[in-house]
């Protein structure tokens, strides 16, 4: 039986286009499911699960937070996938040097939360919180549930990490997920 692939993304090229191009180049058939931006609340699973902040301001803040996380992730991945040992070492040193500054920036975003709220926005879990946890757990914590050492000087990020990690369904996934390098 042949494998069937399904790519679900907004009706945009954006981040999904490289995958579409790879499928095209490789001659792989796939189902290209396009979600309209206007109807994302009805069509996008994270919205259905209430992982999207409720106001435009909160959505912008969550986007800002998660994009900061993506910047870190991209820098780390660039170092990991480089095959030249000298370049790999230089890129990893650059990542290690920039990490505290980037984490400090994310910490400051959380410091501005009213009422000492732990989550990125509001008092409920959002996609931005999950993005942060996934990055920290995968790239800083080697997939282990313990709080990564890199977060030790950032009490709010540490609290956020623990809060997401301890969500029952997330905790269950971590316990049963396959062991992989990254």
User: pLDDT band at 12, cuts 50/70/90?
Assistant: confident
Which pTM does this prediction carry?
0.81
Tens digits of residue pLDDT in 92-118: 999 999 999 999 999 999 999 888 899
What angle do helix axes 168-176 and 155-165 make, rounded to 10 degrees?
A: 80
- State both tokens at 160: 């956020």
Residues 116, 123: Cα–Cα separation, whole Å: 10
Tens digits of residue pLDDT in 78-92: 999 999 999 999 999
């Amino acid at each position: 039986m042949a494998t069937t692939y399904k790519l679900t993304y907004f009706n945009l090229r954006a981040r999904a286009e490289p995958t579409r191009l790879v499928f095209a180049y490789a001659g792989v058939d796939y189902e290209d499911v396009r979600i309209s931006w206007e109807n994302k609340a009805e069509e996008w699973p994270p919205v259905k699960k209430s992982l999207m902040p409720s106001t435009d301001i909160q959505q912008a803040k969550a986007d800002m937070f998660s994009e900061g996380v993506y910047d870190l992730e991209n820098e780390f991945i660039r170092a990991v996938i480089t095959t030249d040992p000298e370049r790999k070492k230089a890129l990893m040193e650059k990542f290690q040097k920039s990490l505290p500054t980037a984490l400090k920036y994310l910490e400051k975003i959380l410091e501005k939360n009213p009422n000492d709220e732990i989550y990125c926005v509001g008092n409920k879990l959002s996609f931005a919180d999950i993005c942060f946890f996934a990055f920290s757990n995968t790239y800083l914590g080697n997939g282990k549930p313990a709080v990564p050492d890199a977060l030790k000087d950032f009490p709010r990020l540490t609290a956020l990490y623990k809060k997401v990690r301890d969500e029952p369904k997330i905790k269950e996934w971590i316990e049963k997920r396959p062991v992989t390098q990254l």
